[in-house]
Amino acid sequence: MAEATLPEIYSIAAHRGFADALVAGLVPRYSEPGLGLARLTLLLPSSRAARSVSEAFIRHAGETGAAGLLMPRMVMVGDVELDEALGSLLDPLGAEDIPPAADPTRRWFELAAMLRLAMEREGKAIPGNAALLRLARELGGTMDRLLAEGVEPEDFLSEAVLGESQNLAEHWLSSTKLFAIVQQLWRARLAERGEVDLATRRNMLFERAARHWRETPPATPIVAAGITSAAPALARLLRVVAELLQGAVILPDLDLALDDAAWQELGRAGQAPEPGTLPFTTGEAATHPQYHLKLLLNRMGVARGEVRPWHRKGLGAAPPERSHAISSLFLPPEASKAWVDLSADKRRLSGVRLLTCATSEEEAQAIALAMREAIEVPERRVALVTPDRALARRVVQHLARWNIVADDTAGRPLSLTPAGRLLLELAELVSEGLAPVALVAALGHPLVRRGDRRRAWLEALRAFERRLRGPRPSPGMEPLRNVARRAGVEVWWEEVEQLLDPLVSLAGSEGEISLAGSLDALAQLGEVLAGEDLWTQEDGRALARLIEEFRLHAREAGAGIAPGELHAALRDAMDQVAVRPPYGGHPRIAIYGLLESRMTRADLVICGGLNEGTWPQAPSPDPLLAPAILRALGMPGPEFRIGLAAHDLASALGAPEALLTRAIRDMDGPTIPSRFLLRIEALLGERAEDHRETRIPALAARLDRFAPPTVPYPRPQPKPSAELRDVPIKVTGLDRLLGDPYQFYAQEILRLSGLDPLDADPACDFAWQGTLAHEVLRRWHKLRLDGTKVPILAVASEVLGEANIHPLLRGLWRPRLDEGLEWVARTINEQPDREIVAIECKGEMKFDGVRVYGRADRIDRLADGTLAIVDYKTGHPPSAAQVEAGYALQLGTLGLIAREGDFEGLSGQANGFEYWSLAKRKDGEFGYTDVPMKVGNKKSGLLPEEFLPTHQRFLHKAIAQYIKGDHPFTAKLNPDYPGYNDYDQLMRLAEWQIRLADEGESEDEA
């Protein structure tokens, strides 16, 4: 066969712009009259690369004034059906002798089943189904990486692997054995079906094409461009392409200026110095951006000196000095010592700016502002490159403020799209058993009942939600029916209950449920709720594909899953699916992930999220195979991906202008600058300050913060009219009126009250405990007064059974409650000299012309005929000192009502005032009585004879100043008052409290 004297291998420098420079060289080299480039076949790494090259062809045609252009055939080497894509170039008769590839989704389910079998065989604890599926996906990924590298199962028995395994920890040996068992089972399954893995089939196609083209060179030109994967089979194919008379291999940014010593410092890079030695060592410079290119050249059998520079440049080319600076920037450790004597032209980064923001939100705003400014120049293109998808989403939202639509070509996970979220919320109802938050979220999803029915649907849902707020109700439909009944939406809930019935059946299943059957139920309910809107958009189409694949292969595999794990399993699967936006965004703005950014170019490239752990991401070891085993198998280490991230940054730095951004803090806390950014600052040295971007942050600050000076918000001191002030006083509101008048104003005059959260955490709000305990005591006392003696714990069981309290919460609290209730019953039986005369009794009186009212938990008649007011507490009661300070005036005010008014016909002098607490005592037992007066050994508080007169003075003062007077209802009048914080946001406490404290300190100092 005829071969070229030297392999046709070229490198396009970073400053030239790969796609545009590639097109600028291909057109004059391969274009034919009348045919254009139609006879040329371009081998490209991905469909994203094909789109970038297509756009470059269009730009080139516009620049040169071509009337039209026949573009080449573009074939992605990662295609599943590569044989069909290459067509007759591979084999005129096709590739029937190459087995079909196993379906990836079916393989995933079967690997999970085999993993379970292997764990049972090895006596290992088997995790839940969701975790098992996650582990099966990771195991499949490891298998694919091994197959791409040409590693066969027999290689695990090689001398190198066996030698390394002797030094492994026990858990690594166990996981390696587990991997080997599953791999053996899977290969046997493939043999039964006559199939191969997708990676194996791709290798076979590469080998077939290489062999065919070597023996029978194609009559049409073939060019491989932008491929950096160093898979051995692909590397051999690229070598054949480079040796074809009409072939060429064009690499992105291979550093031809790097001296030989620095090149050798990168390490072996897959080239063992002699037979029997490892191709990789622990000292490899795998984090260098040229390392993966050296690995590719070694596997191609090509020396770096055989690679020639590509002399064409693209439309967005930068000065040549930029490539020299990039080469110097990423020198390996020993070669970096040359920085001391580095000339100015080797470190020149003119056009590169550095921007550090305080937070990730400020970073997103600054990036959006820079992009908006850039497109003000006609024909100017701008691209954001970032691996941080949250940052990309923020930038998209900021651009939308100016009606600029930007497409994030990396896409969003399906789990974050509207269609994906709806199905996940329905799955959560199965896993959580109709939990309140998931229930309201699913029924109120934006896709549900769109159109004319949505208004009525949401009105009913809001009424239902108001009644649902508070602690989580008991499982099942009956508690929810009660909620709907109280909300007055029984008819609406009947419809909802019928819709949710399939999910309720799944949630109540014991053991595992069919994964395919559960997906059927979710899809059917989603379509009933949302109609065709669930499937019509790009996220709905992606969801439909996922559901169909899942249902088909889960049913074939007989896959089951526990109801509680359905949401987690579906969420993991959706996270693997990227939903990319359709065309229609701004033509000169692009947002890329690192993979999507390869081969692209813009006039301004913004590299966002340059923090350690983001760019580059922290290398994660393989979950099943130890790094030493992977090296012995001839696999590069996990640091290899850092080198790829470095190469992506080096390519982006080749743009005419580059802006590098990071945030000092993100949502997780302080961040660490990227190692790449630190190298840039070190290379620039003292000149780094000249590259700081200061104008964009200043504009961003003025954009949202420039406003006339505002007057500081004052401490609220509302003064309503006399008519509005004329309100009654609750016995529980007197101390609030004196300690924090604004709270009284908001509650009693404005009639505002807080809403409990959905699925409220009882650990943060004990009001429900007090309510239930009071109801238990009320019923028990009423039965006793009616002459019926019932054990108090039986009454407690009845009340708690009626309450919508989650069994877990009830189980945690019930033992403590029972101890306190038994103490109440026992103590009452030990006090035969006092008679209980009223329970939960309402009382009121007129005091200075104002109605004062309240409810007494219990009133006893003492032996001397006077009354005792008893107040039950589930927690610790207020102290006598708090009563003396005016912070707890309920009991004394009830005593005044007993004397001056009446409790449903009951009145008299009250001399006894007691708190009966169900809380734990110091000795560990539950229940005790406390008298809020200075009696016994107490050193503070009111004396018994001062108790009611003091409350009377407090009541006179409150009425005279606030109800009948004109005093303002000042917020936090007494800072020591231990009141509730329900109205802190309404009074905007944080805006004036600190300023007030500072003013007070200044006055004290003066």
pLDDT digits (tens, 9 = 90+) for 305-346: 899 999 887 776 777 778 888 888 888 888 877 777 777 766
Question: Whole-prediction pTM value?
Answer: 0.82
Compute CA distances 437 → 423, 479, 507, whole Å.
15, 15, 16
**What is the distance between the alpha carbons of residues 520 and 509, in angstroms, rounded to a whole number?**
16
Residue 810 confidence (pLDDT): 76
How confident is the model at residue 266, as a pLDDT?
A: 87
pLDDT of 716 reads 93
Question: Residue 781 corresponds to which tokens in the numbers above?
Answer: 């006392």
In degrees rounded to 5, what are phi and psi of residue 382?
Answer: -135, 140
Highest-pLDDT range among 266-275, 724-733, 988-997 = 724-733
- What's the pLDDT score for residue 1000? 55
Task: Give pLDDT tens digits for 676-706.
Answer: 999 998 888 888 888 898 898 888 877 766 5
Q: What are phi and psi of 2, to 5 degrees?
A: -85, 135
Q: What is the pLDDT of residues 180-210, one digit of tens each?
A: 889 999 999 999 999 999 889 889 989 988 9
Nearest to 366 by CA among 29, 659, 91, 671: 659
At 593-651, the pLDDT tens digits run 888 888 888 899 999 999 999 999 888 777 788 888 887 887 877 888 898 999 999 99
pLDDT, residue 1004, reads 37
- pLDDT at residue 474 in the model: 77
Give the tens place of pLDDT for each residue, 395-420: 999 999 899 998 888 888 999 999 99
Q: What are the pLDDT digits (tens) for 821-859?
A: 999 999 998 888 889 999 999 999 999 999 999 999 999
pLDDT-based confidence at residue 4 (cuts at 50, 70, 90): very low
Contact 928, 917 (CB under 8 A): yes
Please provide the DSSP assignment of 253-282 as one string: ---SSS-HHHHHHT--TT--SSTTS-S--T
Q: Where residue 1 falls among pLDDT bands split at 50, 70, 90?
A: very low
pLDDT at 1002 over 60: no
* CA-wise closest residue to 223 among 5, 358, 73, 65: 73
Side-chain half-sphere CA neighbours of 200 within 13 A: 18
* Mean pLDDT of the 55-74 span: 85
* Burial bucket for residue 132 (CB in 10 Å: 0-12, 13-18, 19+): buried
The confidence band for 128, taking pLDDT boundaries of 50, 70 and 90, is: confident
pLDDT digits (tens, 9 = 90+) for 35-61: 888 899 999 998 888 888 998 898 888
Q: Report the alpha-carbon distance of residue 260 to residue 643 in Å, rounded.
A: 19
pLDDT value at position 982?
A: 83
Q: What percent of the chain shows pLDDT beyond 70?
A: 95
Q: What is the DSSP string of 697-738?
A: HHHHHHHHH--PPPPPPPPP-----HHHH---EETTTHHHHH
Exposed/middle/buried for residue 825 (C-beta within 10 Å: 0-12, 13-18, 19+):
middle
Highest mean pLDDT among 156-170, 506-520, 639-653, 955-969: 955-969
Q: If phi over 0 gives left and psi between -120 and 50 gives alpha, with beta otherwise, what is residue 927? A: left
What pLDDT shows up at residue 754? 82
Please tell me the predicted confidence (pLDDT) of residue 22: 93
Peptide bond into 7 cis (omega under 30): no
Give the integer Cα–Cα distance in Å for 674 and 607. Answer: 12
Query: Is the Cβ–Cβ distance between 703 and 369 less than 8 Å?
Result: yes
List 354's β-bridge partners, or say none: 660, 692
pLDDT in tens, 526-578: 999 999 999 999 999 999 999 999 888 988 888 889 899 999 999 999 999 98
How far are the Cα atoms of 306, 435, 597, 783, 950 from residue 114, in angstroms, in the given order? 48, 34, 38, 63, 79
Using the predicted structure, report yes or no on whether residue 94 has a pLDDT greater than 60.
no
State residue 856's pLDDT score. 94
What pLDDT sits at residue 366? 94
Q: What is the mean pLDDT of the chain?
A: 87
C-beta atoms surrounding 921 within 10 Å: 11
pLDDT digits (tens, 9 = 90+) for 881-914: 888 888 899 999 999 999 999 998 898 999 999 9
Instruction: Say yes or no to pLDDT of 300 above 50.
Output: yes
Q: Is 612 exposed, middle or buried (0-12, 13-18, 19+ CB in 10 A)?
A: middle
Q: What's the Cα-to-Cα distance from 31 to each of 20, 27, 49, 57, rounded to whole Å?
A: 16, 5, 21, 12
At 458 the pLDDT is: 94
CA–CA gap between residue 898 and residue 921 (Å, rounded) = 31
pLDDT tens digit sequence for 868-878: 999 999 888 99
Give the pLDDT confidence of 98-126 residue by residue, as tens digits.
888 899 899 999 999 999 999 988 888 88
Closest CA to 844 of 774, 905, 922: 905
- State residue 1006's pLDDT score: 30
Phi, psi of 469 (to 5 degrees): -65, 145
Model pLDDT, residue 664: 93
pLDDT in tens, 233-288: 999 999 999 999 989 999 999 988 888 888 888 888 877 777 767 777 777 888 88
pLDDT for 95: 59
Contact 915, 932 (CB under 8 A): yes
Q: Is the pLDDT confidence value at 351 over 70? A: yes
pLDDT single digits (tens) 778-811: 999 999 888 888 899 999 888 888 776 667 777 8
Residue pair 365/337 in contact (Cβ under 8 Å)? The answer is no
CA 439 – CA 426 distance, rounded (Å): 8
As a whole number of angstroms, the distance between CA 392 and CA 399 comes to: 11
pLDDT of amino acid 922: 86
